[in-house]
C-alpha cells in the first residue's frame, strides 16, 4: 500500500484545452489577454493553466511583476503546441464550413439532358459562392441513376419525371413541356403550336429510351392512336436535336434539350395540347443530405427556373 506522503501519479500529457490556453498565454503574455482572446474569464484561464502544469509536473510560466514569463520547458513545448493549435483551428473552421454547407463533396448522378447545360451552369455558380465544395458528376440513365443512389455511389440524382420509388426522397425543381423541334417550313407558319398528329408522314428522329420521359410521350401517342415511324433512332435527346439541326428531320424533345446550343437554326414549336413532365432531385430517404448537398439542390432549382423561363 502506498504511503499517504507518496506523490500522486501524474499523466504528463496536455489535453486540447490545455494546449489552447497555453498557446493563448504564451503568445499574449498575460492571463487577462488570454482570457479576452478565448472569450472566457481570467479565473478559468488560471485554473486550466495550473491543471496543465500539475499534469506535466513542471511549471510553464514564472510570475514576475504581473507578467507570465515562459520557462525553458514552455519554450521547448511551444513549437509542437503551435502545430497542434493550427491543426485545431483548421479543424474548427472545417467543421463550421461543413455545418454551413461551405465545404464538402457532392456526388451527382444526372440524366443526360439535365447534365448538358443546367448542371454545369449550376456548379459554376455554386462554386463561386462555395469554392471549397468539390463535385463528382456521373451521367446516367434513370435505372442506373436509382441504382447508384441505393448503392451509395452518389448523393443526389437529377431526373425527369421519376416515378415514386420506395426509399427515395424527392426534391421538386419544377416542371417542363415536350416541344417539337424542326426546321423552317416543316410546319408552315412560324410559332404556331402543332398537334402530334401533324408528325405523321414526317422524318421523325426517335429516342431509344425506356426512361420516364419516353414513357410519357409513348402514352400520349397511344392515347391518341398515333403511330410514328422513326427514320432514325438515337440514344439521347441531344443527338436527336443535332440531327434536326443539320436538316435530318423533326423530333419531340424535352424543353431543356430544345433550349441547348447546337447546329442549325431550328424552330421550337409548343405542342397542342401540351405534354408536361416534372423535374426532381432524388436522394435516399434514410441517408440525410449534407448541408452542401441541400444548398446545391436550392441552387439547381433556381438555375432551372431561370433557364426555362
Tens-digit pLDDT profile for residues 219-256? 999 999 998 889 999 988 999 999 999 999 999 999 99
Domain match, 33 and 94 both: yes
Structural contact between residues 34 and 25, judged by C-beta atoms closer than 8 angstroms:
yes
Domain match, 79 and 160 both: no
Tell me the CA end-to-end span of the chain in Å, nearest whole number.
84
* Residue at 159 is within a domain: yes
Residue 270, beta-bridge partner list: 179
Q: Would you tell me how many other CB atoms lie within 10 Å of the CB of residue 107?
A: 17
* Residue at 1 is within a domain: no
Domain match, 94 and 113 both: no
Domain match, 90 and 144 both: no
pTM assigned to the model: 0.68
Q: What pLDDT does 287 receive?
A: 83
Domain match, 268 and 302 both: no
Dihedral over alpha carbons 113, 115, 120, 123 (to 10 degrees): 130
Domain match, 20 and 31 both: yes
Domain match, 95 and 185 both: no
* Residue at 6 is within a domain: no
Domain match, 51 and 186 both: no
Domain match, 217 and 293 both: no
Domain match, 44 and 180 both: no
Q: What pLDDT does 155 receive?
A: 93
Domain match, 265 and 288 both: no
Identify which of 239, 270, 243 has the alpha carbon closest to the alpha carbon of residue 257.
Answer: 239
Flag residues of the chain having pLDDT under 50: 1-3
Amino acid at each position: 500500500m502506498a504511503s499517504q506522503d507518496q506523490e500522486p501519479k501524474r499523466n504528463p500529457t496536455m489535453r486540447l484545452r490545455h494546449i489552447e490556453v497555453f498557446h493563448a498565454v504564451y503568445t499574449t503574455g498575460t492571463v487577462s489577454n488570454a482570457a479576452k482572446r478565448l472569450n472566457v474569464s481570467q479565473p478559468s484561464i488560471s485554473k486550466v493553466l495550473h491543471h496543465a502544469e500539475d499534469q506535466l509536473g513542471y511549471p510553464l510560466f514564472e510570475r514576475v511583476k504581473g507578467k507570465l514569463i515562459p520557462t525553458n520547458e514552455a519554450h521547448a513545448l511551444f513549437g509542437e503546441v503551435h502545430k497542434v493549435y493550427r491543426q485545431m483551428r483548421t479543424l474548427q473552421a472545417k467543421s463550421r464550413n461543413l455545418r454551413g454547407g461551405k465545404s464538402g463533396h457532392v456526388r451527382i448522378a444526372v440524366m443526360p439532358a439535365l447534365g448538358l447545360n443546367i448542371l454545369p451552369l449550376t456548379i459554376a455558380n455554386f462554386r463561386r459562392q462555395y469554392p471549397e465544395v468539390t463535385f463528382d458528376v456521373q451521367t446516367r440513365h434513370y435505372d442506373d441513376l436509382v441504382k447508384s443512389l441505393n448503392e451509395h455511389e452518389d448523393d443526389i440524382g437529377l431526373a425527369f419525371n421519376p416515378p415514386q420509388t420506395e426509399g427515395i426522397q424527392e426534391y421538386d425543381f419544377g416542371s417542363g413541356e415536350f416541344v417539337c423541334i424542326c426546321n423552317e417550313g416543316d410546319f408552315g407558319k412560324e410559332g404556331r403550336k402543332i398537334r402530334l398528329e401533324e408528325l405523321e408522314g414526317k422524318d421523325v428522329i426517335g429516342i431509344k429510351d425506356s426512361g420516364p420521359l419516353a414513357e410519357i410521350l409513348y402514352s400520349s401517342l397511344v392515347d391518341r392512336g398515333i403511330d410514328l415511324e422513326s427514320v432514325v433512332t438515337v440514344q439521347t435527346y441531344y443527338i436527336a436535336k443535332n440531327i434536326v439541326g443539320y436538316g435530318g428531320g423533326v423530333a419531340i424533345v424535352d424543353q431543356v434539350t430544345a433550349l441547348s446550343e447546337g447546329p442549325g437554326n431550328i424552330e421550337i414549336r409548343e405542342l397542342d395540347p401540351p405534354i408536361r413532365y416534372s423535374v426532381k432531385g432524388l436522394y435516399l430517404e434514410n441517408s440525410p443530405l449534407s448541408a452542401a448537398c441541400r444548398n446545391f439542390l436550392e441552387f439547381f432549382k433556381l438555375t432551372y427556373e431561370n433557364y426555362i423561363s
